[in-house]
């Protein structure tokens, strides 16, 4: 039991080619038109190239003032909405927490069906993170596909909302779980999985959409050499790792981005880093550690390796490359290039040739101090040696960008009309410090970047960056207060849409960044908006609801107080006049907490125990999660729940709901000390809510 909980501590923070073939297939731009101009948003990234660009232009920079609410719909989700909706033939398909899947009428917002795969916390305690996060579904020929936190890939009948087939794509007992959206092409469904920082070995699998039969599997890092390598690619990667038992680190999980390229019939895989982050421990005699932090191209039919580009060789900062990979045709220095673009966590924007994986150009799109640039000849970063904290005398380094990344999974968008990539970026540092007993493999990190009252701390920690990928320079940017703003949509109406961590949904002029429109939506946004049309009317759809790693690990930064409301879909169209819902935040509904009766010492002991007993892992650091949901914010406990404290914490009375019993790990006195700490936190919140 204790080792299981210990494992929980190691938890994510946050958590193609032949010419004749090409000619037989539609070109990417035709493909884009085929998928999007029909008025549908049929693929995760809008089109296969994941441009997240809508060719619809009825709503544009001239008439955006007439954009109004067509409808809104509440979505059952206890932890926000992270999924990109798929919209085909007037039906919206959306996933939420615990991989629940819904179909809504795209014209009215009425729920058509709801499929519950019955992911439950008590059957996958370790995977509880994965259980609460789902970034989307795929739709193909009448079936909706979803991956679950307990490792299943499920095909659902798109009309009826009933299960067609199900297959186990990973082992939840080995800490695997699926949070990312599957991608689909040519009767094949591609799916990755996550939890590199719980030691899993990453891979991507392709399945037949009709039968669920496995077609191929690509391993992103090598396994135990004694068992023999699966293929030459794995053997080649193994040469880049050193030490004994290095393979036990696993890593390289493909937890988010996969991009299918119809022009080269290639699948691109974006990979994670691995623990321990201290490279000296992970691979003590050096080595690049393939394929961590990489973009890997594999043949979509066979899963065979084609090429790779590693963004951060021998990573020490969790600068993974799981971010969106967007495909485009660009003219650079008078030559046409078929490129892949990525703005990964490390702060550099990469333009890569899709044919062979060669780096065309790279430049930093936010403040960066871990590297001075990228050497175009070798494709390798020109590192600042001081950033490798484990080599410094004091074992520490303050590094830009932060562990959260200059850009995380929140989708970016490329407009072929303006030629700009719109990146939801953030600008923060992280201090890394060697510390023997630190949770994440001996490295302590400050999740907030700045100390309280830090004079260095800028007012604004995020910005929407309009980046020219040809000149590798910023065209415009708009700053915002909190990091963790939502994903981006660009449209042929010369508009760029983005939701923010302050609970606003905004539109900007695509070429200048002028803010043309903004509405309050009651909760922070994370995922990208989409656009579709029905009966010649264009809609903009926003999936709203604060969730994900920031909610869990850095609640102060994840959403402002007024942006912690429920999960909802909001559909907007021209001249619509529906009323917005009333916005109630958890702060409005906090019951009066019990009076504090414990001593200062007891409260302090409770605070420490709250960490040690990993309550914070599920209920948030310092019990500062938010109200409602699968993992309640303990400061909002009702009076009767306070009375049941002992039965819940020691007696296991909520075991089947995922709240384990801690009776083997602590005494009654310990439990009471934690209770005193929680009461203290609840009173502090109550006071701050009621003195404003």
Please give the structure tokens belonging to residue 243.
């030490």
Q: Distance from first CA to last CA of the chain, Å, rounded?
A: 44
CA Rg, the chain, in Å? 24
Please give the structure tokens belonging to residue 492.
């042929």
Query: C-beta of 130: minimal distance to ligand HEC in Å?
Result: 12
Q: Does residue 128 touch ligand HEC according to CB under 6 A?
A: yes
Fill in the per-residue mask, 537 to 556: x = in contact with ligand HEC (CB under 6 A), - = not in contact. Answer: --------------------
For ligand HEC, the closer of residues 251 and 658 by Cβ is: 658
Query: C-beta of 396: minimal distance to ligand HEC in Å?
Result: 29
Stretch that binds ligand HEC, among 110-118, 176-184, 492-500, 608-616 (CB under 6 A): 608-616
Q: Does residue 631 touch ligand HEC according to CB under 6 A?
A: yes
Cβ-in-10-Å burial (0-12, 13-18, 19+) of 364 comes to buried
For ligand HEC, the closer of residues 524 and 659 by Cβ is: 659
Determine contact, residues 548/486, Cβ cutoff 8 Å. no
Binding footprint of ligand HEC, residue count (CB under 6 A): 24
For ligand HEC, the closer of residues 76 and 236 by Cβ is: 76
Residue closest to ligand HEC, measured at CB:
615
Report the C-alpha gap between 340 and 304 in whole angstroms.
19
Q: Does residue 325 touch ligand HEC according to CB under 6 A?
A: no
Q: Does residue 78 touch ligand HEC according to CB under 6 A?
A: no
Q: Does residue 425 touch ligand HEC according to CB under 6 A?
A: no
Q: Does residue 650 touch ligand HEC according to CB under 6 A?
A: no
Stretch that binds ligand HEC, among 139-147, 543-551, 592-600, 625-633 (CB under 6 A): 625-633
Q: Binder to ligand HEC among 101, 618, 650, 676 (CB under 6 A)? A: 618
Query: C-beta of 21: minimal distance to ligand HEC in Å?
Result: 48
Report the C-alpha gap between 661 and 654 in whole angstroms.
8
Report the C-alpha gap between 268 and 271 in whole angstroms.
10
Report the C-alpha gap between 633 and 5 in whole angstroms.
20
Q: Does residue 121 touch ligand HEC according to CB under 6 A?
A: yes
For ligand HEC, the closer of residues 366 and 614 by Cβ is: 614
Q: Does residue 632 touch ligand HEC according to CB under 6 A?
A: yes
Determine contact, residues 290/298, Cβ cutoff 8 Å. no
Q: Binder to ligand HEC among 73, 341, 674, 682 (CB under 6 A)? A: 674
Query: C-beta of 625: minimal distance to ligand HEC in Å?
Result: 10
Q: Does residue 637 touch ligand HEC according to CB under 6 A?
A: yes
Q: Does residue 649 touch ligand HEC according to CB under 6 A?
A: yes
- Nearest in space to 87 (alpha carbons), one of 119, 141, 42, 130: 42
Q: Binder to ligand HEC among 205, 402, 602, 630 (CB under 6 A)? A: 630
For ligand HEC, the closer of residues 158 and 659 by Cβ is: 659
Query: C-beta of 654: minimal distance to ligand HEC in Å?
Result: 4
For ligand HEC, the closer of residues 97 and 283 by Cβ is: 97
Stretch that binds ligand HEC, among 343-351, 371-379, 436-444, 607-615 (CB under 6 A): 607-615
Distances (CA, A) of 456 to 364, 445, 453, 481, 483: 21, 18, 9, 15, 16
Q: Binder to ligand HEC among 279, 662, 676, 681 (CB under 6 A)? A: 662
Determine contact, residues 54/41, Cβ cutoff 8 Å. yes
- Nearest in space to 488 (alpha carbons), one of 426, 421, 539, 533: 421
Please give the structure tokens belonging to residue 412.
């970016």
Hunting for tokens 């909520």 — which residue is that? 654
Report the C-alpha gap between 124 and 150 in whole angstroms.
6
Query: C-beta of 679: minimal distance to ligand HEC in Å?
Result: 11
Q: Does residue 657 touch ligand HEC according to CB under 6 A?
A: yes
Q: Binder to ligand HEC among 338, 388, 619, 635 (CB under 6 A)? A: 619
Distances (CA, A) of 268 to 183, 290, 337, 430: 11, 15, 17, 29
Q: Does residue 603 touch ligand HEC according to CB under 6 A?
A: no
Q: Does residue 593 touch ligand HEC according to CB under 6 A?
A: no
Query: C-beta of 662: minimal distance to ligand HEC in Å?
Result: 5
Contacts 24+ apart (CB under 8 A), 356-359: 356/307, 357/295, 357/297, 357/306, 357/307, 357/308, 357/309, 359/309
Q: Does residue 617 touch ligand HEC according to CB under 6 A?
A: yes
**Cβ neighbours, 10 Å, residue 453:** 6
Determine contact, residues 237/213, Cβ cutoff 8 Å. no
Q: Does residue 1 touch ligand HEC according to CB under 6 A?
A: no
Cβ-in-10-Å burial (0-12, 13-18, 19+) of 487 comes to buried
Determine contact, residues 653/647, Cβ cutoff 8 Å. yes
For ligand HEC, the closer of residues 388 and 619 by Cβ is: 619
For ligand HEC, the closer of residues 303 and 629 by Cβ is: 629
Report the C-alpha gap between 419 and 178 in whole angstroms.
33
Determine contact, residues 472/481, Cβ cutoff 8 Å. no
Query: C-beta of 692: minimal distance to ligand HEC in Å?
Result: 24
Q: Does residue 654 touch ligand HEC according to CB under 6 A?
A: yes
Q: Does residue 172 touch ligand HEC according to CB under 6 A?
A: no
For ligand HEC, the closer of residues 519 and 607 by Cβ is: 607
User: Which residues are CB-contacts of 582 (< 8 A; sequence separation ≥ 6)?
Assistant: none
Stretch that binds ligand HEC, among 228-236, 429-437, 582-590, 629-637 (CB under 6 A): 629-637
Stretch that binds ligand HEC, among 160-168, 367-375, 504-512, 633-641 (CB under 6 A): 633-641
Q: Does residue 615 touch ligand HEC according to CB under 6 A?
A: yes
Report the C-alpha gap between 526 and 46 in whole angstroms.
17
Determine contact, residues 341/469, Cβ cutoff 8 Å. yes
- Enumerate binding residues for ligand HEC (CB under 6 A): 121, 125, 128, 613-615, 617-619, 630-632, 634, 637, 641, 645, 648-649, 654, 657-659, 662, 674
């Amino acid at each position: 039991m204790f080792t299981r909980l210990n494992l929980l501590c190691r938890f994510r923070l946050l958590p193609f080619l032949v010419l004749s073939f090409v000619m037989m297939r539609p070109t990417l731009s035709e493909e884009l038109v085929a998928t999007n101009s029909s008025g549908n948003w049929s693929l995760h990234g809008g089109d296969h190239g994941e441009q997240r660009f809508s060719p619809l232009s009825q709503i544009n920079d001239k008439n955006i003032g007439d954009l109004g609410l067509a409808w809104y719909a509440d979505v059952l989700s206890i932890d926000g909405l992270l999924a990109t909706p798929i919209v085909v033939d007037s039906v919206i398909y959306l996933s939420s927490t615990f991989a629940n899947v819904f179909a809504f009428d795209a014209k009215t917002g009425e729920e058509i069906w709801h499929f519950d795969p019955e992911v439950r916390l008590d059957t996958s305690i370790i995977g509880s993170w994965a259980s609460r996060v789902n970034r989307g579904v795929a739709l193909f020929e009448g079936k909706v596909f979803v991956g679950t936190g307990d490792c299943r890939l499920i095909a659902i009948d798109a009309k009826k909302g009933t299960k067609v087939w199900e297959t186990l794509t990973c082992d939840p007992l080995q800490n695997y779980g699926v949070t990312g959206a599957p991608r689909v092409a040519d009767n094949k469904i591609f799916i990755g999985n996550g939890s590199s920082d719980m030691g899993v070995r990453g891979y991507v699998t392709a399945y037949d959409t009709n039968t669920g039969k496995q077609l191929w599997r690509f391993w992103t890092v090598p396994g135990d050499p004694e068992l023999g390598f699966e293929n030459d690619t794995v053997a080649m990667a193994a040469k880049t790792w050193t030490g004994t038992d290095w393979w036990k680190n696993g890593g390289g999980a493909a937890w988010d981005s996969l991009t299918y390229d119809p022009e080269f019939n290639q699948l691109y895989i974006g990979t994670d880093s691995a623990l321990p982050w201290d490279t000296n421990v992970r691979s003590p005699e050096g080595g690049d550690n393939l394929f961590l932090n990489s973009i890997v191209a594999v043949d979509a039919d066979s899963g065979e390796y084609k090429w790779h580009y590693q963004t951060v060789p021998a990573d020490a900062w969790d600068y993974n490359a799981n971010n969106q990979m967007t495909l485009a045709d660009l003219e650079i220095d008078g030559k046409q290039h078929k490129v892949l673009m990525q703005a990964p966590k490390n702060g550099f924007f990469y333009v890569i040739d899709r044919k062979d994986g060669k780096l065309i150009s790279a430049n930093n799109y936010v403040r960066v101090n871990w590297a001075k640039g990228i050497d175009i000849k070798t494709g390798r970063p020109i590192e600042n040696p001081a950033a490798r904290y484990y080599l410094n005398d004091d074992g520490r380094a303050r590094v830009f960008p932060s562990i959260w990344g200059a850009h995380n999974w929140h989708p970016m968008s490329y407009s072929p009309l303006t030629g700009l990539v719109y990146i939801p970026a953030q600008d923060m540092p992280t201090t890394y410090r060697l510390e023997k007993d630190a949770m994440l493999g001996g490295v302590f990190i400050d999740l907030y970047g700045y100390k309280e009252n830090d004079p260095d701390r800028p007012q604004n920690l995020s910005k929407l960056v309009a980046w020219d990928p040809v000149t590798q320079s910023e065209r415009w940017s708009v700053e915002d207060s909190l990091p963790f703003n939502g994903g981006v949509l660009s449209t042929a109406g010369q508009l760029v849409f983005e939701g923010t961590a302050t609970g606003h949904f905004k539109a900007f002029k695509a070429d200048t960044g002028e803010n043309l429109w903004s509405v309050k939506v009651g909760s922070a946004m994370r995922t990208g908006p989409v656009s579709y049309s029905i009966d010649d009317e264009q809609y903009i759809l926003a999936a709203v609801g604060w969730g994900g790693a920031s909610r869990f690990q850095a609640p102060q930064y994840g959403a402002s107080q007024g942006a912690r409301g429920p999960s909802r879909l909001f559909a907007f169209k021209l001249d619509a006049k529906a009323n917005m819902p009333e916005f109630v935040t958890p702060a409005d509904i906090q019951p009066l907490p019990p009076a504090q009766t414990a001593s200062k010492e007891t409260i302090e002991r409770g605070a420490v125990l709250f960490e040690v007993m990993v309550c914070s892992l599920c209920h948030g650091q310092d019990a500062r999660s938010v109200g409602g949901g699968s993992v309640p914010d303990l400061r909002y406990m009702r009076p009767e729940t306070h009375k049941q404290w002992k039965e819940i914490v020691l007696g296991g009375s909520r075991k089947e709901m995922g709240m384990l019993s801690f009776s083997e790990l602590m005494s009654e006195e310990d439990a009471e000390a934690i209770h005193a700490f929680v009461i203290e936190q609840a009173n502090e919140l109550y006071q701050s809510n009621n003195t404003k």
